[in-house]
Amino acid sequence: MSERPVYVISVFAELAGVHPQTLRNYERSGLLRPRRTSGGSRRFSDEDLVALRRIQELTAEGVNLEGVKRVMALEAELESTRRELDRLATEADRLVEATHRQYRRDLVPVTNALAVFVDRRKNRTTKERP
């Protein structure tokens, strides 16, 4: 899917099966944000087409334009939150792994360890090498 704006309004309207005036209304409502050329002409991208398809789905379900705007804003926020959650989970995994590596580095091999045994019956401490 391309973000590159390539479609003029007439071609975009034909692709989407809507009237160009509908696209202008969606733009005025803030639902679509086509880019503009230096001459002021609208240019739509494949990303805009995906957004338009979502607008059409929601309006077909009976959602008004203000509701569509709110739903799409919440969907965008949810997607952003999911990306952030994925990033944080990856970072947490990295930190846990780094912590585990640190634990392994701090372990002392058993052959070099000093074992202390407490004889509770005699309350005496003895030191032995394993």
Q: What structural domains and CATH numbers belong to the chain?
A: 1-62 (1.10.1660.10), 68-130 (no CATH)
Q: Kindly report the pTM of this predicted structure.
A: 0.67
pLDDT of residue 105: 60
**Tokens describing residue 98:** 């780094």
What mean pLDDT comes out for the span 55-74? 96
Contact 116, 127 (CB under 8 A): yes
Q: 8-29, pLDDT tens digit by residue?
A: 999 999 999 999 999 999 999 9
Residue 104 or residue 117, greater confidence:
117
Q: 65-101, pLDDT tens digit by residue?
A: 999 999 999 999 999 999 999 999 999 999 998 888 7
Distance between CA 61 and CA 68 in Å, rounded? Answer: 10
Q: How far is CA 38 from CA 27, 30, 34, 35, in A?
A: 18, 21, 13, 10
Mean pLDDT of the chain: 86
Contact 88, 103 (CB under 8 A): no
